[in-house]
Structure 1
Amino acid sequence: CSNNNGGCEHSCMANAAEKWCSCRDGFEVSTDDWTKCADINECDSTKGVDYNQECHTCVNTDGSYTCVCRNGYELDPSTKQKCIGELSPQAENMRTKQNGGITRTTKYALFVHTCSCDHGFELHPDGKSCIDVNECNGEKGVDFELNCQICMNTKGSYACNCYEGYELQPDGKSCIGQLVVQYTFTEYEFDCLSDVHECKRGLYEVDCHTCVNLIGGHTCICNDTYVLDASNNNETCIG
């Protein structure tokens, strides 16, 4: 064996009387030449004995084998020699009825993959992709905020625009300004939201001589010889 590995392709073994060749796992000594090693085709042998019971379609490789898996399964990344998946409750119930009660670990149970979606999305009918939920098509106060005056759908969520005299709250999904009425199961309740004070914030036209705040808006007091401009919501003076 010390001379050219005894002529053996893989391993040379010897004792005082003789020498012989041996092969690595997945190979056997060739019947044509005892110094050569031939691949063992595990896929031609017995399932569950020579290759894994959970290998759906066995594919022979040099010195080993791998598997092709059916839809809903994937190749076990650690061994590459069996198919794995998630046990479906439907499959478990079916097997329980047939076999008089089995556990989720039974190797004959059916396996499937399922998908789930992030908040604001729902599963497409194809069961593989997610689509946006348009909250604005839903019920006000349920699918989007009660105080969202103009709902605008966005990808995975929604945003709001507010009427004149109102302003958007920091959450971007409700407006503050005028008195709103909310209905509960047994009574009406009034929720007075803070008014935007245009006069204090300087949110009025230069032609408004003296700004007067109103709930949800403002008007003006005009100097002598000037009158309110009705065409501009009584928010400026003309003369």
Structure 2
Amino acid sequence: MKGTVIVISILALLQSVTSCTQNEAYTCYKQETTTYVTYTLCWEFWNLFQCKEEHTITKTVSSTCHRHVCCEGYQRSNSWEECKAVCFGSNSCQNGGSCVAPNKCICPSGYISPKCDDENECSVKKGGCSHTCVNTKGSYHCSCPPGFTLDSNELTCKDVKECSVNNGGCAQKCVNTEGSHYCSCNPGFSLGSDQLTCKDDNECSVKNGGCSHTCNNTEGSYHCVCPLGFTLDLHKLTCKDDNECSVKNGGCSHTCINTEGSYHCSCPPGFTLNPHKLTCKDNNECSVKNGGCSHTCNNTEGSYHCSCPPGFTIDPHKLTCKDNNECSVKNGGCSHTCNNTEGSYHCSCPPAFTLDSHKLTCKDDNECSVKNGGCSHTCYNTEGSYHCSCPHGFTLDSHKLTCKDDNECSVKNGGCSHTCNNTEGAHHCSCPPGFTIESDKLTCKAEATIPQVRTSAVCGNDNGGCSHSCIGMNETVQCTCPILKKLADDNVTCIDVLGFYYGLCTCLAVCLMVATGLLARKWCVRRRGAFLGNQRPTANEQKLFVVVTSSQEYGDEFKNINLQKPPPYKEKMDEKDIYM
């Protein structure tokens, strides 16, 4: 639009201004030229021909001429040229301007009068440019910073969408900005040094990518991987153990045991895993070293047990059979001796006993039934034994079979207080004159009265002269004797009275044996022998015997009644001390 206005103005100016000339008379000279032709003969290569020659005659002729003279401010180079205006010493203006009048130039667009100097359009409002105005010779133009381009009006800069052309040169993402752009990369990539290309990030190189186990780098990403037996959690970073046992028991037939990253099947005692490690098969424990059993091994489903033959019992470890001591329970049923053997037992009897047909009970052998047991006089069968006995006044010899006469008088005078008279199988006491035998047939009693109390001493002085006990009474003493003893005639000495009871027991026993034909056995004292009689001793008699044996004092009566020496004192007699 601007250029069109300028052109119209120039045309109008040209129409209104003509070349400025004026007529001027002067003597002028001009040369006039006259031309005539002559013909002559000419030769050329022996040819004769007519040739033509032109001749010119020039002469100067003066006359009055009129000439055009340029107006002031105009000039021309030749007279035949038009006069042209002179602008600042030249017929033309600089920068393509037209000189239309003296010192008056018509300038093309971009130039300004009077000399058509360049117009700096940028000096006024940046030439209308939105960004940069660039003045040029005769014109100007707007320019834009990098990242912008001129709009169609050539004035306004608009943003260049670099990303729209070849993605801005970016390998992956192009991000347009106002006047620029930049490249970016997808997750898992980083910009290269050229700021255009993307290179893969190896996320696994930093803290294993956060993976608890294996980190696998991929193009632009990565992922965590778990070993067999593990599964990634929801965050896809941590491997958590798979409980294989939670699904169909891991395929195990019996027990499934989950472990860290794996699992295994196990079997109850007595079973072994098959080669595929899932099902259990029964162990035949008995096939290896008999299961550890000392005798019989019995395999069962999943177990086994040891058993023992009769007469044996399994020990607490349930492996070894130990012999049953059948004798430990009720003596094996044996009446006497039970003999345990390896796996069995048998009953046996003491000498003089024989097992019955049941092989449990011992029955007594009656030794007296064969040759009177070898006794010279009386044979007494006892439970499990026998013994020979002699009538009163006899004693068994060292072989305990033959009876020999006892000289009762040789032992403590036969119990007589005075004279002892030995007879075949017996003895009797006799008294000197002035004495009479008492009812015990042992003691002689003086016919005269003998004082019972001594007054000449007290108990504290030599026990009052008493051989045993002394009792002080009103400045006198009374001597006393223990049971089975009595005061002698001197009233201070205690003498034995035991012979009477022995004699009585012996007499009763002999009488009873004769009356029953030696078939009945009654109570008599066993070899500890306090009594021999036809009935069990009374409590008083037992007490008497105990007192006698405790005193350890024995009269000659023991010899006469054919008794062995009593054993040491016993506080209480039991049934074992007495024969039935």
State the TM-score bracket (shorter-chain normalisation).
0.3 to 0.5
Q: Which has the higher helix share?
A: 2
User: Relative contact order (C-alpha < 8 Å, sep 6+): which is higher?
Assistant: 1
Q: Which has the larger radius of gyration?
A: 2
